[in-house]
Amino acid sequence: MSISIKSAEEIKVMRVACRLAAEVLDMISPHVKAGVATEEIDRICHDFIVGEQHAVPAPLNYKGFPKSICTSINHVICHGIPGPKRLKHGDIVNIDITVIKDGFHGDTSKMFLVGDVKPYARQLVAVTQEAMYLGIREVRPGAALNQIGAAIERHIAKYGYSVVREFCGHGIGREFHEDPQVLHYFEPKLDVRLESGMVFTIEPMINQGKRHVQMLADGWTAVTKDHKLSAQWEHTVLVTPDGYEVLTLRQEEDFGRT
């Protein structure tokens, strides 16, 4: 495992890329409502990233991915491809944004509630966000990487939820996906010690039912095998000399930086 330690100059550029990714989620929020097709959400995000931010939507053509964002609805775990499907009242949807600015990536995602969402779906979304925050709070120099996953797994287990194991967080910088892999469950062998200057995503995918995944024929879309709901939140996090900094923090979030 070769983990990149970012320089002060690289971190400065990454802060910009990550801020832009967060701004896309803020921009798109009013458009995420019943009756809107996910391909329309993709178009609005694409035009904003390219036209307003003068940045690049990283997913577009990445290993053949056909769109600029990912939209994962209800039982879709991740990598949902935007298309003609329209959102409806009661849906929960994850919108995953990655932008490239001046050669560096910023990666983040957020769950949106469409109209009147059932209490059990609201709970899954809220608990998944809480789990991500608890994982982030484990980040500090000298801490073991696997404590992030341990904190996430402990929290969601209280609700009978499960952690998806086929997908995980990752280092990020000049490359979309770098070392280390950031597992969202406890793995004893993943006892890498964190160092100031590491940058990676924490993005737990939490299922209402069993953890098992099924891939659709498009080769991208991952869904829950039991068709129960799944939720995901994601932030890009920097290890600082005395803790962490959430590089993709949005203005709406009541969450500290250290």
* Strand pairing report for 76-78 and 222-224: antiparallel
Domains in the chain, ordered, with CATH? 8-242 (3.90.230.10)
Residue 256: the pLDDT is: 60
When pLDDT is cut at 50, 70 and 90, the band that residue 254 belongs to is confident
> In the predicted model, what is the mean pLDDT of the chain?
97
- Rounded to two decimals, what is the model's pTM? 0.97
pLDDT of 39 > 90? The answer is: yes
Q: What secondary structure does DSSP assign to 127-175, as a single string?
A: HHHHHHHHHHTT-STT-BTHHHHHHHHHHHHTTT-EE--S--EEE-SSS
Q: What is the pLDDT of residue 251?
A: 87
Q: What whole-number distance in Å separates Cα of residue 100 and Cα of residue 160?
A: 37
Is the pLDDT at 193 greater than 70? The verdict is: yes
- Residue 112 region, left (φ>0) first, then alpha (ψ -120 to 50), else beta? beta
Report the pLDDT averaged over residues 2-11: 97
Q: Tell which residue, 178, 231, 21, 180, has the closest CA to residue 107.
A: 21
* Mean pLDDT to the nearest integer, 95-113: 98
Q: What is the pLDDT of residue 258?
A: 43
Cis peptide before 59 (omega within 30 of 0): no
Is a pLDDT exceeding 50 seen at residue 205?
yes
